[in-house]
Amino acid sequence: MKNLVEVKNIKKNYGKNEAVKGISFNIKEDEILGLLGPNGSGKTTTIGMLLGLLKPTSGEIFINGQKLEGNRIEILEQINFISPYIELPKKLTVKQNLTVYGKLYKINNINERIEFLSEKLRLRGLLNSITGELSSGQKNRVSLAKALINEPKVLLLDEPTASLDPEVGDFVRSFLEDYKKEKKISILLASHNMNEVNRLCKSILMMKDGIIIDKGNPEELINKHGRKNLEEVFLKLSRSKNELN
Amino acid sequence: MYGLFLRHFYLITRSFPRVLDLVYWPTIQITLWGFISNFFATHTTYYNNAVGVILTCAILYDFLFRTSIGFNMLFLEEIWSRNFTNLFIAPMKIGEILTSLVATALIRALIGLIPAVLLTSPLFGISILDLGIFLFFLFLSLYLFGITLGILVSAGLLRYGPSFENIAWSTMFLLAPFGCIYYPIEILPELFQKIAYLLPLVYIFEEARNILINQTVDIQNIYDAFIWNGVYFVLSIALFYYSFNVAKKKGTLINMGE
Report DSSP state, residue A93.
Answer: B
Nearest to A105 among B83, B90, B245 (CB): B90
Ordered alpha helix ranges (H), chain A:
43-50, 72-76, 94-104, 110-120, 136-148, 166-183, 194-200, 218-224, 230-239
Residue B104 forms contact with A (CB below 8 Å): no
Q: pLDDT band at B258, cuts 50/70/90?
A: very low
B162 occurs within a structural domain: yes
Is the separation of the CB atoms in B224 and B130 below 8 Å?
Answer: no
Residue B209 CB burial class (10 angstroms; 0-12, 13-18, ≥19):
buried
B174 occurs within a structural domain: yes
Q: For chain A, which residues score pLDDT lower than 50?
A: 244-245
B179 occurs within a structural domain: yes
pLDDT at B44: 63
pLDDT at A22: 95
Residue of B nearest to A54 (CA): B248
Average pLDDT of span B184-197: 91
B253 and A53: CB-CB below 8 Å?
yes
Domain of B50? 17-255
Contacting A residues, span 106-125, partner chain B, CB-CB under 8 Å:
106
Residue B135 forms contact with A (CB below 8 Å): no
Say which residue, B18 or A138, is predicted with more confidence.
Answer: A138
Q: pLDDT band at B142, cuts 50/70/90?
A: very high
DSSP helix/strand/coil, A224: helix
Residue A45 with chain B: CB contacts under 8 Å? 251, 254
Q: What are the CA-CA distances from residue B56 to residues A229, B138, B155 (Å)?
A: 75, 12, 31
Rounded to a whole number, what is the distance in Å from the CA of B244 to chain A's nearest CA?
Answer: 9
Domains of chain A: 3-78+152-239 (3.40.50.300), 87-150 (no CATH)
Residue B248 forms contact with A (CB below 8 Å): yes
B7 occurs within a structural domain: no
pTM value is: 0.83
| pLDDT digits 0-9 by tens, B216-251 | 899 999 999 999 999 999 999 999 999 999 999 988
pLDDT at A245: 41
Q: How many CB atoms lie within 10 A of CB B136?
A: 10
Rounded to two decimals, the ipTM of the complex is 0.89
Residue of A nearest to B92 (CA): A73
A77 and B91: CB-CB below 8 Å?
yes
Picking from A214, A244, A218, the residue whose alpha carbon sits closest to that of residue A229 is A218
Residue A217 CB burial class (10 angstroms; 0-12, 13-18, ≥19):
middle
How many domains, in total, are found in chain B? 1
C-alpha to C-alpha distance for A183 and A21, rounded to whole angstroms: 33
Residue A190 CB burial class (10 angstroms; 0-12, 13-18, ≥19):
buried
Residue A106 with chain B: CB contacts under 8 Å? 91
Indicate the helix (H) or strand (E) that contains A207: strand A203-208
Residue of B nearest to A12 (CA): B249
Q: Which residues pair with A82 in a beta bridge?
A: A157
Up-side HSE of residue A245: CA atoms within 13 Å toward CB?
A: 2
Q: Please list, in sequence order, all residues whose beta carbon lies within 8 angstroms of the beta carbon of residue A146, skipping any fewer than 6 positions away.
A: A80, A82, A88, A97, A98, A101, B86
